[in-house]
Chains A and B, each alone.
Chain A
Amino acid sequence: GEDVEQSLFLSVREGDSSVINCTYTDSSSTYLYWYKQEPGAGLQLLTYIFSNMDMKQDQRLTVLLNKKDKHLSLRIADTQTGDSAIYFCAESLSGYSTLTFGKGTMLLVSP
């Protein structure tokens, strides 16, 4: 079955880079996603990567995918206090399949 694992907590200083890691179990996963959830809000898509890609960069965000190890990471460059939130990794077998989410990583950015 599908399972997504994440570390629970990460603390960084403003201006540093943050790296949030995720592992998944289903090698058939086609799309892998990073969602952000701020307090009291729903989840918002940050970025996604297709399984035939190794890397995707979008402004301050870099996603790395190691399909062999089923490992996904999200790097946030020049982390700001506004980046403090919970970040969820999610996988999907296709663009039409239900997403399976990890438990989330709480990122705390201190000034």
Chain B
Amino acid sequence: EAGVVQSPRYKIIEKKQPVAFWCNPISGHNTLYWYLQNLGQGPELLIRYENEEAVDDSQLPKDRFSAERLKGVDSTLKIQPAELGDSAVYLCASSLGGGTANTGELFFGEGSRLTVL
């Protein structure tokens, strides 16, 4: 069974340019997360989806960041325009979500490493 797939793995752009990251969660996982991981830090939640609905986007900098999960499956995270401080790893994760007993385990993709010059 395929895990969480993210692309691209690496992206280098100049500041003020746009960038987009794509994530395909594990089949059947209703909940999808985008996390930001700065160097030497733990993952910090940007946005959480339950199916196609964003249920927690309180930490998403909405002036430049946007995300969508139109059909409740794969998702895109966009930054426009990118700033130097956006250099980080963007992690996508999925989980089973609601329903029967759930340990809340998250399954992570390998991440998309962004470098803004």
Contacts and interface: CB of A to CB of B under 8 A. Distances in A.
Interface of A: 4, 31, 33, 40-45, 48, 88, 90, 92, 94-104
Given A31-B104, A43-B91, A103 B56 contact: no
Contacts, number: 59
Interface residues of B, number: 26
A41 B107 CA distance: 12
B50 to A, nearest CB: 9
Given A42-B109, A43-B108, A95 B101 contact: yes
A4 B42 CA distance: 10
Interface string B35-64: 000001111110010000000100000000
B40 A103 contact: yes
Interface of B: 4, 31, 33, 40-45, 48, 56, 91, 93, 97-98, 101-111
Nearest to A101: B42
A41 B110 contact: yes
Contact of A43 (B40, B56, B98, B106): B106
